[in-house]
Amino acid sequence: MDFTNFLHMKEELSLIAVMVILLLYDVFGSTRSQRHFQLIACILFGLHTIINILPHEASEAFGGMYVYKPMLTIVKSILNIGTLIVFMQAHTWLESEKTVIRRGEFYFLTLSTLLGMYFMMSAGNFLLFFIGLETASIPMAALAAFDKYKRKSAEAGAKYILSAVFASALSLYGISLIYGTTGTLYFDDVASKVTGNPLQIMAFVFFVVGMFFKISLVPFHLWTADVYEGAPTSVTSYLSVISKGSAVFVLMTLLMKVFPNIATEWKAILYGITIVTITIANLFAIRQKNLKRFLAFSSISQAGYIMLGVISANALGMTSLVYYVLVYMASNLGAFGVISVIEQKTGKVMMDDYNGLYKTHPYLSMAMTFSLFSLAGIPPFAGFFSKFFIFAAAASQGYYLLVLIALLNTVISLYYYLLVVKAMFINPSDEPLAPFRSDNYTRISLVVCIAGVLLLGIFSVIYQQISLFSFGM
């Protein structure tokens, strides 16, 4: 057997190394040496991020089963940085009395989902794609149910695993029909054999519905709000940014690579789904009082905006999609970081609890405001530029009506994001949240997020770098 094939999988190998080291350290390290577990985990993972940040030339391994493209390094690095920020924000929660004993498991489970996403993105065959998808979603259910003694967390775990299995069963059925009509599972071979007969269209719909479940687009979003609310906050932020970002990228590459022959059909499907997703998620977000639930609906509508990049299906669309995911990561993790630290210190997650937050926590409320403004897309912040590029990509393909509807929806989204800002700055409160000192990990992560929100849009070099590697249909 030729082992040199493994050398093409540098990212995966170094991630597995990090996982194994952390697992051994967690199991065999003495109690005294484990005081720095968090620090060592962050440093190791940071090293892994830095080693793999430079793209190398495109290659294939294992007879086309594993495909590497330079673009994948960009996306994987974005996911790595997001995961690192989530690790830092999880510090307070992981060091709390009840969770400290399960600290190592959190890292192992999170990194296994990340490994699954890597494989899912690099797959050149439906088999590897499916295994990656499942590796990404099974540990995720365990993470959602991580707070073993909380009823809500257990509920979230059950809802996640059952919906995930249901979605992957539908996807698998689609894949089986695709196999039946084409006789192969390799993406390149399937692409040339998809002719658009009715059975293939049905297979495609089954397959893509499973993916829509993972991205939580509207008719398939019903699990999202409950899972986001019930899961521990760090897991929620991981789920909403990393899991969603990778799934969106995979959907776009699959649609372009495997189904170019039925592009008219899938564009029509996406057109309807995008409109419904953005509108309904925005309308539901208005009436949410729990901030985690609120951000769940906000993330559904953001996923709808990301679909604008998918529907344009060219290099511009891919650039704006990856850029959108990067900016969305910075803004959403900023918002979740604030919610997470406040929930850990005071146990409050309702919007009314944030009344008068500015008086006692000026920095936290500023961070939250910047993140929400960026999510809404207000000019100096990065969110404006990402929305601009993604609208430009869709408009370049002639989807003017779709862009108009999305634009109108940003006005609605501005309304509900401002509700939170109003609660923090204007609403009077007799007893605002007591002041507390947040730990250094949270501070660093919030500074990084806010720097991202402020600078990602202004430094055009990032967008240019992404556009160097993107490819179209």
Partner 1 sequence: MEIRMEYYLIISTIMLFAGIYGFFTRRNLLAVLISVELMLNSVDINFAVFNRYLFPEAMEGFFFALFAIGVSAAETAVAIAIIINIYRNIRNIQVKKLGTMKH
Binding site for partner 1 (CB under 8 A): 126-127, 130-131, 134, 138, 141-142, 145, 148-152, 154-155, 157-159, 161-162, 164-166, 168-170, 172-173, 175-177, 179-180, 183-185, 225-226, 229-230, 287-290, 293
**Among residues 18, 188, 175, which one has the least CA distance to residue 87?**
18
Minimum separation from the CB atom of position 135 to partner 1 (A): 9
Residue by residue, what is the 3-state secondary structure of 261-300? HHHHHHHHHHHHHHHHHHHHHHHHHHCCCEHHHHHHHHHH
**Buried-state track 168-197, b at ≥16 Cβ within 10 A, e below 16:** bebbbbbbebbeebbeebbbeebeeebeee
Looking at beta carbons only, is 19 or 209 nearer to partner 1?
A: 209
Looking at beta carbons only, is 135 or 410 nearer to partner 1?
A: 135
Minimum separation from the CB atom of position 131 to partner 1 (A): 6
Minimum separation from the CB atom of position 392 to partner 1 (A): 37
Looking at beta carbons only, is 183 or 272 nearer to partner 1?
A: 183
| Element at 68 (helix H, strand E) | strand 66-68
Looking at beta carbons only, is 228 or 238 nearer to partner 1?
A: 228
Q: How far apart are the C-alpha atoms of 185 and 287, rounded to whole Å?
A: 45
Minimum separation from the CB atom of position 362 to partner 1 (A): 30
Minimum separation from the CB atom of position 230 to partner 1 (A): 6
Q: How far apart are the C-alpha atoms of 305 and 315, rounded to whole Å?
A: 17
Would you tell me how many other CB atoms lie within 10 Å of the CB of residue 425? 18
- What single letter denotes the amino acid at residue 365? S
Torsion of CA 125, 114, 241, 166, to 10 degrees: 60
Minimum separation from the CB atom of position 138 to partner 1 (A): 5
| Element at 302 (helix H, strand E) | helix 291-312
Determine contact, residues 156/187, Cβ cutoff 8 Å.
no
Looking at beta carbons only, is 71 or 247 nearer to partner 1?
A: 247
Looking at beta carbons only, is 26 or 226 nearer to partner 1?
A: 226
Looking at beta carbons only, is 92 or 299 nearer to partner 1?
A: 299
Q: How far apart are the C-alpha atoms of 371 and 373, rounded to whole Å?
A: 5
Minimum separation from the CB atom of position 110 to partner 1 (A): 15
